[in-house]
Amino acid sequence: MIRILIVDDHNTFAELLAEALDREADLCTVGLANNGRRAIELCDTLRPDLVVLDYHLPDESGLSVAALILAQAPATRIVMLTGDPTPEVLERAASIGVCAFLPKDGSLIGMLDTLRHARVGGFMVHPSLVAQLSAQWRLHEYNPAVQALTRRELEVLHLMARGNDVRANALTLGISENTCRGYVKSILAKLEVHSQLEAVVSATRLGLVGVNERV
């Protein structure tokens, strides 16, 4: 019997999933949590074998919660749900010890199969999420603006997406404000936009920055 904790702030989804799991002879739900803090508390008291964890939680990211859970109980298997992965998120998830990534709108049969076969040390990504990532990579590969941006310009762009001003970005990167303004000017020219806000919107559309980075 695989004992499962479900962590999701959409209560209807969590309750329906729990009912589906409890109909299976080899699976059972031991608890529900709707935020990261509660998930960590329940993992400590219930010691589930596996956690179905939403990437987007109201108080913190699913990756942060996964890291804390695995620090307390390394043998716990974690299957994460998301609809918008990025290469960076998948890389961090794998390094933390997450066992699998599934789309939240995927099939129940596929999820049940993944829950049964998730293993510590393994890392499975649903084909539909792989297809999304492949599309992002193709967009990056063939977009001239993406090819033209330097590593430093991408760093400045990520800081811009967090809402930082030129002075703060310059301090973070250890460069002068004039140098930072030069990078901003170059970014605007390469993305063919007229303001930092337009640059962030364009970069989000191109997949250069994540939606969660934007203010």
Per the CB < 8 A criterion, the answer to whether 21 and 30 are in contact is no
Across 146-174, average pLDDT: 84
pLDDT at 144 over 70: no
pLDDT at 212 over 80: no
**pLDDT tens digits for 16-72?**
999 999 999 999 999 999 999 999 999 999 999 999 999 989 988 899 999 999 999
At residue 145 the predicted structure's pLDDT band, cuts being 50, 70 and 90, is low
Residue 213 has a pLDDT of 45
Cα(59)–Cα(51) distance, integer angstroms: 17
Closest to 13 in 3D by CA, of 88, 83, 71, 76 = 83
**pLDDT tens digits for 13-22?**
999 999 999 9
Residue 65 has a pLDDT of 95
Mean pLDDT of the chain: 84
At residue 207 the predicted structure's pLDDT band, cuts being 50, 70 and 90, is low
Residue 66 has a pLDDT of 95
At residue 211 the predicted structure's pLDDT band, cuts being 50, 70 and 90, is very low
Across 77-88, average pLDDT: 79
Instruction: Give the predicted TM-score (pTM) of the model.
Output: 0.62
Across 6-18, average pLDDT: 95
Query: SS3 breakdown of the chain: % helix, strand, coil, rounded to 5?
Result: 55, 15, 30
Q: Provide the CA 39 distance to its chain's centre, in angstroms.
A: 17
